[in-house]
Structure 1
Amino acid sequence: MAIIKPFRAVRPIRDKVSLVASRSYQSYTEEERNSRMNYNPYSFLHIVNPGYKYQKEISGEERYQLVRNRYLEFIEEETFIKDEDTCYYVYKIINREQESFCGIIAAASADDYATNVIKKHEDTLTNRETTFKEYLKTVGFNAEPVLLTYPDNDTIKNVIGTIIEERAEYEFTTTNRETHYVWKVTDQKQITRIQQAFQSIETIYIADGHHRTSSSFLLAQDLASSNPQHQGTENYNFFMSYLIPESDLKIYEFNRLIKDLNGFSKEEFLIQLDPWFRIENRGIEVYKPSKPHHFSMYLDGEFYSLYLRKTNYEFKNALEELDAQILYTIILDPLLGIKDLRNDSRIEYSHGKEDIVLVKSKIDQGEFKVGFGLFPATVDQMKNIADQGLTMPPKSTYIEPKLRSGITIYEFGDF
């Protein structure tokens, strides 16, 4: 039974929302960030990059405190307002490919994460969890929702369908041609129907935002232990999430680029692959896998298709059926000597929204020696791996939608 609560969001006034909203901080290059902050005083980037104001790199607790200060300035200047009533927020995105994503921004329970009502499919890094927990503890707010997905539900779908017939609170288009809509859900009957519908759902899955979720759970534990009047209903026991039905989730692959063949010649490497794959040389024809357990490889100016020989590879669990795991088990670890997929400098990743030609061009330019293309994982694979208590290798999925920061903000600190 999932606990999904409405909350009072802090959010931009209507005429400033398109100026405030920003992509995730890490998705910009330094040049892009500076350009946006130079010409847009309302960008949320000014809050999360407070050192820009002083032309100085600031880190650690000093940065966290300045983030909080910039946030308070946006409130004092009335760029941000806080809703008087608890609400759900229906959020719809139509991307440049005219794909539509529609879900609900709400507060999800940290306890549900602890009890596996909210399930994960990726491992998290302890240092990142702790760092972000300390950041949250100082700033007292969260501005980037965790992406959660749930089984398609007719009740939620019908309520959302009614809500989006009305005029949106926000409607704006970004420079990458995405159109964003947000509706406030204030009708108590609609709120109750949504809340009860989620209570009937046994399991919700993290699609994107594993570190943010785990950090929010650690924060809840930390603040509860220091609060003698802790009751379990405080805002810090929840974290802001964007919940969309599984049918709306879009999963792309991450392709792998490797800098060398670990001492093998091209011919030796192909011979090492032969026991595991049926190999076809595709020449200069651009090849992308068309189904699971098929891989593409670009090496020495030519594409190859690699079809897994299933007689030699045994599927013992859901993880071993995942193409990213197959590639790691057969090629990356034993042949190329890449054991640490997060930190090995010999491997880089290119997500599937970027054309396979990008992989080809980086290899042709000599940056890398070989590239591998994968078929995207499915929602069912992601769920099966989570249900079995397993975790995917790093960079197994690139998931959309990607939300903008600063459109709804969840406060759990004292302001």
Structure 2
Amino acid sequence: MAVVRPFKSIRPTKELVSKVAALPYDVMNTEEAREMVKGNPYSFLHVDKAQIDLPAETNQYDEIVYNTARKTLDKMREDGTYIQDNAPSMYIYRQIMDGRVQTGIVGCTSIDDYMNDIIKKHEHTRAEKEQDRINHVDHCNANTGPIFLTYKNVGEIDEIVASWTAKEPEYNFVSEDRISHIVWVINDTETVKRLEELFKSVKYLYIADGHHRAASAVKVGKMRREANPSYTGEEEFNFFLSVIFPADDLYVMDYNRVVKDLNGNSSEEFLNKVSEKFTVEEYKREGQYRPEGKGYFGMYLDNKWYKLTAIDGTYDSKDPVKSLDVSILQENLLRPILAIEDPRTSDRIDFVGGIRGLKELERRVAEGMKVAFSMNPTSIEELMNIADAGEVMPPKSTWFEPKLRSGIFVHELS
């Protein structure tokens, strides 16, 4: 039984929402963020990545960064950039990218559901990244970036969404990457109550993206509970900001790999070793090879594309983790042939999100990498199966597009 409840969102005015809305803080580095906000004092990156307004030598984890974030958020509320809804509401957030539509419910989910595994995870988190967002959330007294959740479709929720999205939206703008962002405010008490009831019929919610933000929000909630031992469980710090999409709406892109060297092998030696676990065919058609299904991989080496097909018996098709394409490549090629034991820590491998296209793999090889691999995307069903089994996915298994924009909704903790 999932808890999803309304909240009084702090959100931009209609006139400024397109300038405020920003990509998540963790998809760019500080220098890139500085460039992105030039000429735009309203960008939410001034809150989410506040070091961009401090001297270049400032440590991004220094307390002055979090204090600056809070001051900037307070200023945006004081100067009228932000308003706050008078009554608890839910919201509908629709994104349209290249004609494909995903539409989610914006509400607050429970830290208890996270701790009790009603909200399912599929990734490990890193302590230093968690601590950064713990500090940010605690200083700002707010969840500033939404958690991207998904669930197995519920027909009546779909019907409510369809009826509300026939109305005039509150926001409707196109961001610089040509993605449409449309928001409706569900401020009807009966509809909100019905949505709360319907989500109680949902057995599990699944984190699609935002594991560090979720873990940090939960830890801040626990800190607030310890500081307020008479808490009732209804306080806002017991909940965190989420956008919850039906699984059928979501699109997972490929997450490709590039490697610096062949681990001492010549190209011929490397191809011979690869052929022990994969059938290797030179791809004769024009353009890049995009894998057509599970067990297929593209490989770009010496200005040629190859089609790799995993040989039967190289993986356990019944194991939800071992049967992932990212696992098949790791266990049958990257580790045994290229000696990449841990892709999270190796400096010989890099990852390229599918949004950049397969030509980016050719470019990276031309600039010095030795070999590239194009991947078949991990499916939502595979993600859910792994989460249900209590397992974790290998690193860099999923790339979701479009990215949720930060700054459209802010959830105040007290």
Shorter-chain TM-score bucket reads over 0.9
1:288 maps to which of 287, 290, 303: 290
Instruction: Note if contact 1:102-1:248 (Cα within 8 Å) is conserved in structure 2.
Output: yes
Matched with 2:387 is 386
Segment drifting more, 19-28 vs 350-359? 19-28
Q: SS of the residue aligned with 2:181?
A: strand
By how many angstroms is 1:407 displaced? 0.6
| Per-residue deviation, residues 64-116 of structure 1 (Å, max 9, x unmatched) | 01100111011111111111100001111112x11111111100111111111
State the partner residue of 2:330. 328
Match of 2:302 among 293, 300, 303: 300
Query: Could you say which residue in structure 1 is the equivalent of 2:23?
Result: 23
Q: Which residue matches 2:33?
A: 33
Higher alpha-carbon deviation: 270-279 or 5-14: 270-279
Contact 2:14 2:171 in 1 (8 A): yes
Aligned to 2:4: 4
2:191 is the counterpart of 1:190: yes
Instruction: Name the CA shift for 1:352/1:38 in 2 (closer, same or farther; >3 Å).
Output: closer
Deviation at 1:45, TM superposition (A): 2.0
Alignment correspondent of 1:149: 150
1:127 and 1:53 map into 2 onto residues whose CA distance is 22
Distance 1:301 1:205, change over 3 A: same
Q: Which residue of 2 aligns with 1:237?
A: 238
Q: What is the 5 A alignment of 1:92-131?
A: 92-95=94-97, 97-131=98-132
Q: CA deviation at 1:228?
A: 2.2
Instruction: Tell me, yes or no, if structure 1 residue 67 matches structure 2 residue 69.
Output: yes
CA distance in 1, matches of 2:68, 2:275: 57
Q: Distance in 2 between matches of 1:194 and 1:327?
A: 42
- State the distance in 2 between where 1:257 and 1:139 align: 38
Q: Distance in 1 between matches of 2:293 and 2:4?
A: 36
Return the alpha-carbon distance in structure 2 between the equivalents of residues 385 and 15 of structure 1. Answer: 43
Secondary structure of the 2:403 match is coil
> Alignment partner of 1:107: what SS?
strand
Residue 210, structure 1, aligned to residue 211, structure 2:
yes
Q: Deviations over 1:351-377 (max 9, x none)?
A: 112221210122123x20011111111
Amino-acid identity (%): 35
| Pairing of 1:46-57 with structure 2 (within 5 A) | 46-57=46-57
Stretches of structure 2 lacking an aligned partner (at least 5 in a row): none
Structure 2 SS opposite 1:315: coil
Q: Is the 8 A contact 1:51 1:57 kept in 2?
A: no
Tell me by how many angstroms 1:49 deviates.
3.9
Amino acid at match of 1:377: T
1:38 is displaced (CA, Å) by 3.2
Q: Shift of residue 181 of structure 1?
A: 0.9
Contact 1:168 1:183 in 2 (8 A): yes
Q: CA deviation at 1:32?
A: 4.9
Q: Give the count of matched residue pairs.
A: 411
Pick closer, same or farther for the CA change 1:202–1:22 going to 2, 3 Å. Answer: same
Name structure 1 gaps, 5 residues minimum.
none
CA contact under 8 A between 2:30 and 2:52: conserved in structure 1?
A: no
Q: What is residue 260 of structure 2 aligned with on the other side?
A: 259
Tell me, in whole angstroms, the C-alpha distance in 2 between the residues paired with 1:209 and 1:167.
30
Residue identity in the other structure for 1:296? G
Q: Is the 8 A contact 2:77 2:83 kept in 1?
A: yes
Q: Secondary structure at the match of 1:159?
A: helix
CA deviation vs aligned residue, 1:386-415 (integer Å, no higher than 9, x gap):
1111111111010123111111101114xx
TM-score computed with the length of structure 1 as normaliser = 0.95
* Residue identity in the other structure for 1:41: P
Q: Encode CA deviations 1:162-191: one digit per residue, 9 max, x unaligned.
A: 111111111111122111111111111111
- What TM-score, normalized by structure 2, do the two folds share? 0.95
CA-CA distance at 1:138 after TM superposition:
1.5
Contact kept? 2:69, 2:136, Cα under 8 Å: no
Show the counterpart of 1:13. Answer: 13
Q: Which residue of 2 aligns with 1:353?
A: 355
For 2:401 and 2:54, the matched residues in 1 are separated by 35
- Aligned pair in 2 of structure 1 residues 94, 61: CA closer, same or farther (>3 Å)? same
Alignment CA distance shift 1:330-1:89 (3 Å): same
Matches of 1:281 and 1:53 in 2, distance apart? 51
Q: CA RMSD in A?
A: 1.6
Q: Partners of 1:389 and 1:51 in 2: how far apart?
A: 37
Distance in 2 (alpha carbons) for counterparts of 1:30 and 1:225: 34
